[in-house]
Amino acid sequence: MNFSLPFLLLFVGSLLLTARESFLIYAPSRSAEVLRVLEAKVEGEVLKLNSVVDYPLGFSATTITAHPKKNLLYVTTNGGPEGECPAATVFLDEKGIPQKHQSHLLKNGYAGLAVNADAGWIAGASYRTGWLDLYELDETGRIGRVLVSRNEERKNAHYVLISPDQKNLYVPYVKDFNALMQYGLNGKTLTPLDPVNAKPPEGTGPRHLANHPAGKFVYASNEQRAGASVYQRLPNGQLKHVQTCDAFEKFPRASGLSSSDIQCTPDGRFVFVGIRDREKEHDAIARFKVNEDKTLSFLGRTPADAVPWGLALSPDGRHLLASGTIAGTLQVFLVGKEGELTLAAKHKWGDKVTDLVTRSIP
């Protein structure tokens, strides 16, 4: 049988694409004090989840982020005595499997982490104390000395977002503090903007943030008003509120509904927000379309296990992952062409997992 060169190239390209779609999932377990590592193997439209290893950490880890240029992960607890909050730098081998870790005792526990690889630091936002701390990373990527510590006299800091051009850093505060702090970045220097608070609308409580890939807009999940908000990033780095887009056309009740995590797809077409329900009636993933002007249009809600806390996208953006923290499950959804979510796989790990990240398999 003879094949034309274009056909062969297309066939080989499709095989390579399928291989690249498989990825690894890392999730710290609060209860088991391990780092769960799973492989998501993708064959066409079929996805299978396999447990790879439960790597022992020796402490109750809650928060995780990955170094964007090195085979490293960082995990921290969310609380503890000042100066005695456990954390770890986890070293991965060339296949992405944890091999060893360096233990640390940090100033605070953190609900959000972000790495600035070029400037050589990692930042953490403390929910319990409100501190924003920047730590130096040595040449190997290990966490070192404190570079900057700021306290805006507010508690409940929940996330750290670095702008794509690495010129700005943003920290949202939930609950009654309801703030969105904004800073300028220059290497290892952090400078408050004027005003330092972008002043999100009352009653929204921005929790987590996501950049639009074009870099000129930021999306926030609203803990106190289930849904998302849109902020335009001005040339001076200031965030200007543009829109609040609710996850319900009519809220079913006055309390008990809140947003958790937020993700924007790599192509910038869709935004997903976890919706948590205290009564467990409306646990879901809210789906939003990104319009041409970067505002959002609500598409609907996809039911999720209780309680969808942490979200992550696969490296290629084709799958959305959600940790069912109360259910003790991981759900993986296929992202459709119109932003619809179809359950592709489910894993029962039985743990109280809140945070997770993904990584391509080399």
Label the pairing between strands 112-116 and 23-28: unpaired
pLDDT in tens, 70-101: 999 999 999 889 999 999 999 999 999 999 99
Q: Indicate the pTM of the whole model.
A: 0.94
- C-alpha 327/C-alpha 310 separation (Å) is 13
What does the domain layout of the chain look like in residue ranges? 26-360
Residue of 37, 153, 21, 39 lying closest to 92 (CA atoms):
37
Predicted confidence at residue 205, as pLDDT, reads 96
One-letter amino acid for residue 220 of the chain: A
pLDDT in tens, 130-159: 999 999 999 999 999 999 999 999 999 999
Superfamily of segment(s) 26-360: YVTN repeat-like/Quinoprotein amine dehydrogenase (2.130.10.10)
Distances (CA, A) of 57 to 89, 296, 359: 10, 40, 19
pLDDT in tens, 31-59: 999 999 999 999 887 999 999 999 999 99
- C-alpha 333/C-alpha 346 separation (Å) is 9
The DSSP element (H or E) to which 125 belongs, if any, is strand 121-125
SS3 21: helix
What secondary structure does DSSP assign to 157-181, as a single string?
Answer: B---EE-TTSSEEEEEE-GGG-EEE
- The 3-state DSSP composition of the chain as helix, strand, coil percent (nearest 5) reads 5, 55, 40
- C-alpha 38/C-alpha 15 separation (Å) is 22
Please state the separation of Cα 209 from the chain's center in Å: 8
